[in-house]
Amino acid sequence: MNELVTLTAAELGERIAARQISSEEVTQAHLDRIDEVDGDIRAFLLVDHDGALDAARRIDARIARGERLGPLAGVPLAVKDLFCTEGLATTAASRMLEGWIPPYDSTIVARCKDAGMVILGKTNLDEFAMGSSTETSAFGPTHNPWDLERVPGGSGGGSAASLASFQAPLALGTDTGGSIRQPGAVTGTVGIKPTYGSTSRYGVIAMASSLDTPGPCARTVLDAALLHEAMAGHDAMDQTTIDQPTPAIVEAARKTDVSGMRVGVVSELAGDGYDPQVVARFREAVEMLTDGGAEVVEVSCPHFDLALPAYYLIQPAEVSSNLARYDAMRYGLRVDDDGEHSAEQVMRATRGAGFGAEAKRRIILGTYALSAGYYDAYYGSAQKVRTLIQRDFDNAWQTCDVLVSPVTPTTAFRLGERIADPMAMYRSDLCTIPANMAGSPAGSFPIGLSQTDGMPVGMQVMAPIMADDRIYRVGAVLERSLNEKWGTSLLAQAPELGGER
Ligand code: GLN
């Protein structure tokens, strides 16, 4: 493996700025790595070889002219295929949008380009970001680099797998119920869901608009913070964005200090149904925080258990509305448009052919939950539960600075194991959904490996709204403690690819 693909984004950025290496060399090394391993991993739906090299050469030329660019200038980036990219096909992993080329960049993609990042390509996901394994992608699943027979999580499995297999140093994700954090945990990478509204949704294909949150995916805490800082901030094109400065997350990631921090362990998010190895690594990680000077207390959040059922009313309701726009008239697929069929028949045939089974399930569930006579019983009750969850968080912040839990009840499961059992699939997000319901920021950090299956385990750190910096402080301490314990990073132990690691 070329050494360049093993460097962190921060290191790459520094060396490129100092002209020790060129962005073109770095980009070429990652494209070579993709060619070498992605046939097995399938993290990418599209690789933009020429576009990436062109962009890299342009950055090199600007640096050669003496321009001072940001810390990530020239660093390659993988983009979840839910973000619109001007001139590059964007599919949401659905047949419905196959071949559609957006005429504009999402705000976040535009900001990453402005910061000098080089887009390698578009990564695989569950169709319209609905799922926890990437298996609902219309273009086939992504494989977990730690064990090709296992899922890389979802919906952002492609982004996480591209990082874990050293095909990209940075990636973009979106998190509606866990799609950044759960793939992060099961691939041994870092994933942060920022405060809802602190990262722009403009040009991100809408799934459940009151929950969708773009965020950074990386291999190190500092890299995630650097990408987060480049993405975040108010956007006039997204009315829900918060007009406040982003907290000092890069500074927090460099601090590596939790002394005096009050850490709450959520009682409800461990115990029955959790893999004992996940719980064991979680307890060890809590110890690491205690050793770092944090004050650890147990906290009850009694309504967190209701988050999953409430999510599966609110999320499908918003999906049924958002996905109504795929009507065969405006975007992508159109079936039976032969002059023999009415517009309604074309619409029906297109929606029947274009959406996969999970998308249809959610549209039907959501339409039912919103229908006259059922609205109060289902959607209305779920919104009340959402308020109760927000109150649990508010109560917790009286005594704690952050809350911690496992990210997922189990390690990465086998491909095919849960796809026929939606409830089993949905339970993968038991721990991650509460933060989405409250709009709170939350991150996932690697904390070790299961001794039973050798797969990575993650810790979730949740913080109050617009206190995203606290998540990075805790993450940095976990990362340092783990690296000191092992004398190496977690990903250095991934057994699969090439054997160099
Ligand atoms: N797995 C959850 C779902 O299927 C969350 C997905 C996401 O965060 N995009 O809805």
Which strands make up the sheet holding 402-406, listed edge to edge? 44-47, 118-123, 76-80, 170-175, 213-218, 190-193, 442-449, 456-462, 402-406, 262-266, 295-299
The pocket around ligand 1, CB under 6 angstroms, is made up of 129-132, 155, 175-179, 207, 315, 429
pLDDT at position 489 is 85
pLDDT at position 495 is 62
Verify whether residue 155 is a known catalytic residue. Answer: yes
> Partners of 274 in the beta sheet?
none
**Dihedral sign (CA 359, 363, 366, 368):** negative
Identify each DSSP E strand in 89-204 by its residue range: 118-123, 170-175, 190-193
As averages over each run of 10 residues, the pLDDT of the chain (501 residues) reads 95 98 98 97 98 98 96 98 98 95 97 98 98 98 97 98 97 98 98 98 97 98 98 98 97 95 96 94 98 97 97 97 93 91 95 97 96 91 97 98 98 97 95 98 97 97 98 98 89 62 36
- What is the SS3 assignment for 190? strand
The HSE-up count of residue 255 (CA atoms within 13 Å, CB side) is: 19
Angle between helices 468-486 and 276-291 (to 10 degrees): 100
3-303+386-493 belongs to CATH 3.40.50.10490: no
pLDDT at position 496 is 55
Q: Tell me which residue has its CA closest to atom 10 in ligand 1.
A: 130
Let me know if 186 is exposed, middle or buried by CB neighbors in 10 A (0-12, 13-18, 19+): buried
Gap from CA of 178 to ligand 1 centroid (Å)? 6
Give the integer Cα–Cα distance in Å for 110 and 121: 14
Given the residues 179, 198, 200, 320, select the one marked as catalytic.
Answer: 179
Verify whether residue 162 is a known catalytic residue. Answer: no
CB atoms closer than 10 angstroms to residue 487:
7
pTM of the predicted structure, to 2 decimals:
0.97
**Dihedral sign (CA 84, 85, 88, 93):** negative
pLDDT at position 1 is 86
Amino acid found at 132: S
3-state helix, strand, coil in the chain (%, to 5): 45, 15, 40
What is the number of the ligand 1 atom nearest to the C-alpha of 174? 9
Give the integer Cα–Cα distance in Å for 428 and 269: 12
What is the number of the ligand 1 atom nearest to the C-alpha of 180? 8
**Dihedral sign (CA 482, 486, 487, 490):** negative
pLDDT at position 499 is 42
pLDDT at position 99 is 85
